Chain A
Amino acid sequence: IAGITQAPTSQILAAGRRMTLRCTQDMRHNAMYWYRQDLGLGLRLIHYSNTAGTTGKGEVPDGYSVSRANTDDFPLTLASAVPSQTSVYFCASSEEGHGYTFGSGTRLTVV
């Protein structure tokens, strides 16, 4: 089934640990995005990539890094997790000029 695969689906992480959230798409979309969703705050952009080899910062990039080595994969890394990074993380991709296709999300709890 074409779409976006995110892994893991949920994770409990000790503060200070490093973690990578995985995102893979099979639609050959050039643009990919990472958003976090917090209750009452909607969806906020963390990082984005307009095409393989390029990345950009969104609204809330601090504490996160991304890479885009190829078209299909767009991993998000938390270098040293803090409790304020507890959230649901959504990866999305888009074809030029069209809306997003979202993954099912990763629910992350930092304790």
Chain B
Amino acid sequence: GENVEQHPSTLSVQEGDSAVIKCTYSDSASNYFPWYKQELGKGPQLIIDIRSNVGEKKDQRIAVTLNKTAKHFSLHITETQPEDSAVYFCAASIFAGKSTFGDGTTLTVKP
């Protein structure tokens, strides 16, 4: 089955700096890669996704890049703000079916 590895497990940045979280996947058939943000005491929330026919996607301060050949994808957050502090999960699936998740990255943005 699919295996998704996520790094780093914790990340601390100063407000205004950029944050990058990286994931690798094992199944070359995977073609849908979403990212979720989980705030304390809540369920994960989809923040951005990318499909295998696209190399990069941006939405305001967040962007995701995908390298199909290397089987890795990354989340980039620019101009970080304290409200970006949360746990972020990457995931991989085939045609957005059942997803395999990474173990999560706890991002702390220090004011």
CB neighbors of A among B82-103 (8 A): 89, 95-103
A-side interface mostly: strand
A79-98: contact bitstring with B at CB < 8 Å (1 yes, 0 no)? 00000000000101010111
Nearest chain-A residue to B6 (Cβ)?
Answer: A42
Which residues of chain A have C-beta atoms less than 8 A from B46's C-beta? 99-101
Q: Which stretch (B37-45, B60-68, B70-78) binds chain A?
A: B37-45
B1-29: contact bitstring with A at CB < 8 Å (1 yes, 0 no)? 10000100000000000000000000000
Q: Contacts A43-B44, A43-B89, A59-B1; is A98 near B103 (CB within 8 Å)?
A: no
Contact call B96/A94, Cβ cutoff below 8 A: yes
Q: How large is the interface on B (under 10, 10 to 19, 20 to 34, 35 or more residues)?
A: 20 to 34
How far apart are A32's CB and chain B's nearest CB, in angstroms?
A: 10
B-side interface mostly: loop
Q: Quick check: is A66 within 8 A (CB to CB) of the other chain?
A: no
Q: Contacts A59-B1, A100-B34; is A45 near B43 (CB within 8 Å)?
A: no
Q: Quick check: is A40 within 8 A (CB to CB) of the other chain?
A: yes
Q: How large is the interface on A (under 10, 10 to 19, 20 to 34, 35 or more residues)?
A: 20 to 34
CB neighbors of B among A26-82 (8 A): 31, 33, 35, 40-45, 48, 50, 56, 58-59
Nearest chain-A residue to B96 (Cβ)?
Answer: A97
Contact call B89/A42, Cβ cutoff below 8 A: yes
How far apart are B106's CB and chain A's nearest CB, in angstroms?
A: 11
Contact call A90/B98, Cβ cutoff below 8 A: no
Which residues of chain B have C-beta atoms less than 8 A from A45's C-beta? 98-100
Nearest chain-B residue to A91 (Cβ)?
Answer: B43
Residue B45 contacts which of A33, A44, A50, A102 (CB distance < 8 angstroms)?
Answer: A102
Q: Quick check: is A104 within 8 A (CB to CB) of the other chain?
A: yes
Residue A97 contacts which of B95, B102, B104 (CB distance < 8 angstroms)?
Answer: B95
